[in-house]
Structure 1
Amino acid sequence: MKINQFPESLDLSIDDLLIIWDTSTGTTKKISAASLLDWLSANIKVASNISGIGTATASSSFNASFLPIKATDGSTATDWASLNQTNPWIQIDFSSSKKVSQVKIADRIGQSARCNAGTLSFSDGSSVAVTGILNNGTYSIVEFATKTITWVRFTVTAGTGTNVGLSEFQIIGY
């Protein structure tokens, strides 16, 4: 029995040739490192925060300093805040379908207006309850089976105070 050992990393130049095993034909093939990179970039997707490539809207905004886009900028130092609402909503719309499997929510840090719980609603008709949201800068991470969607909305269902909002609303997908 022969066991192939692979290094932890490979240093390849674009012109290098690789010999790979083609499982569909049961034979070896020679391919260039460039072809392998092209195939990897076309077929391997890495999930990341895609909120920033969508359009953020909300039920209201306190003023121009607290727009919904502030909840998609990757910083818990900026906030979206509603205008006199205890149970507002925020939504991210995408121009094309996205595959998502996680949402991260961070309440506004140290504010008396709090988002304690809510519901995530998706364009595919599904929804997920979210509870236990803290207002100390920690993310509440909501994981679910991968969905193909064009929008996601978070509706606060247990707000306290007025001007409830979020510091971050991150959609993780590709």
Structure 2
Amino acid sequence: MKLEIRTLDNSYSEQATDLILNIQQKEFNVPITIHDQPDLAQIESFYIEAGGNFWGAFINGELAGTIALVKFNEKEGAIRKMFVKKEFRGKDLNIAQLLLEILISFCREKGIENLYLGTVNILKAAIRFYERNQFHEIQKENLPASFPLMNADNVFYHLKINENR
């Protein structure tokens, strides 16, 4: 089994959208549609040109997981689109961990010191994953004013990058 992680551009929009919507809608019944996520059709302009990035993990050429970084000001970024297909989850392949580590090292290179994310309280495994990786829960009102909120999110986390690892 060959695992490869690479930056995604607009040519991967359809694959990324399929993976993410399947997990959101079918697996977890999160009430979110493609219309709530126009960024998926504009990976390059929304993520990369703004100073962030969008990565995909491929197993034998199949998109198995994604993670994205929205840089929303000079020293701060938000994690978005952190999804791994059910059959590729877990410690064996460690895809989520590898994706997160690539994103954090990208932040270090780019001088991003604070990382934030929003998730949904029903995603218990995701929440445990972030907490294991030193993210601390914060209240919505303590997010930076320019944090790009998603309507479905109701739990928020922060990581101060230089304090960890």
- State the TM-score, normalized to the length of structure 2: 0.28
Relative contact order (alpha carbons < 8 A, sep ≥ 6): 1 or 2 greater? 1
Higher helix share: 2
TM-score, normalization: structure 1? Answer: 0.27
Higher-Rg member (1/2):
1
